């Protein structure tokens, strides 16, 4: 290979390395920041210049679905008696029933709170798992990106060396 061949090979390696690095940087920027507005505008110019006539169809539907729970409770209370002893006995009976009902409601509420806490913990665990998976995917993509950019840099440097050698050697 002569001096001209070294210069040409060096130029090819430089262009290939530069193109590889530019491609990977653009891909990383697109993944991290989205498509640049300029490119979106540029891609949309044919549609703005040559609009198509389109037929639009609209359709509507509605549905109702209940997700909540409706609960109704009725409690029978002992009515007041005619004598003082009957009234006191009625009050004591109603108080005992009220304590029983309050205890049942507290136990039911504690069970519902525990169920909500369990669902919240499960959702938190799922979100944490999803976050870890996305972080691993991001790290894998960054490792691949670093590898590709290092390859491009190596090609560019090799091309520069070959070009310099081809230009300085006397053939």
Q: What is the pLDDT of residues 51-88, one digit of tens each?
A: 776 665 656 555 555 555 555 565 666 677 778 888 88
141 φ, ψ (degrees, to nearest 5) = -65, -40
For the record, the structure tokens of 28 come out as 């990383």
Task: Report the pLDDT value the prediction gives residue 124, as an integer from 0 to 100.
Answer: 96
Across the range 21-30, mean pLDDT stands at: 86
Structural domain contains residue 106: yes
> Is residue 60 a part of any domain in this protein?
no
Domains held by the chain: number: 1
In a domain, 68, yes or no: no
Q: Which pLDDT score is estimated for 62?
A: 53
Q: Is residue 69 part of a domain?
A: no
Supply the range of the domain harboring residue 129: 3-34+80-168
Decide: 13 and 168 in contact? Cβ < 8 Å: no
Highest mean pLDDT among 5-9, 10-14, 56-60, 100-104: 100-104
Q: What is the predicted pLDDT for the residue at 34?
A: 80
Domain membership of residue 30 (yes or no) is yes
User: pLDDT over 70 for what percent of the chain?
Assistant: 82
* pLDDT for residue 53: 63
The CA radius of gyration of the chain, in Å to the nearest whole number, is 38
Is there a domain that residue 123 lies in? yes
In a domain, 152, yes or no: yes
Residue 40 has pLDDT above 60, yes or no: yes
> pLDDT per residue over 115-161, tens digit each?
999 999 999 999 999 999 999 998 998 888 889 888 999 998 988 88
Mean pLDDT for the chain overall? 82
In tens, the pLDDT along 82-125 reads 788 888 888 888 899 999 999 999 999 999 999 999 999 999 99
Give the other-Cβ count within 10 Å of 65's Cβ: 4
Tokens of 11: 């130029």
pTM for this prediction: 0.49
């Amino acid at each position: 290979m002569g001096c001209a061949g070294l210069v040409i090979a060096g130029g090819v390696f430089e262009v290939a390395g530069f193109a590889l690095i530019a491609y990977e940087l653009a891909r990383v920027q697109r993944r991290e920041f989205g498509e640049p507005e300029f490119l979106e505008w540029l891609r949309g110019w044919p549609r703005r210049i040559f609009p198509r006539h389109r037929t639009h169809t609209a359709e509507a539907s509605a549905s109702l679905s209940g997700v909540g729970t409706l609960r109704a409770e009725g409690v029978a209370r002992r009515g007041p008696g005619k004598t003082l002893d009957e009234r006191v006995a009625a009050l004591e009976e109603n108080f005992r029933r009220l304590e029983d009902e309050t205890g049942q409601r507290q136990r039911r509420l504690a069970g519902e709170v525990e169920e909500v806490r369990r669902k919240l913990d499960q959702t938190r665990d799922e979100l944490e798992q999803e976050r870890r998976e996305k972080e691993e995917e991001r790290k894998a993509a960054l490792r691949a990106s670093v590898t590709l950019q290092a390859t491009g840099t190596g090609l560019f440097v090799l091309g520069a060396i070959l070009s310099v050698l081809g230009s300085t050697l006397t053939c």
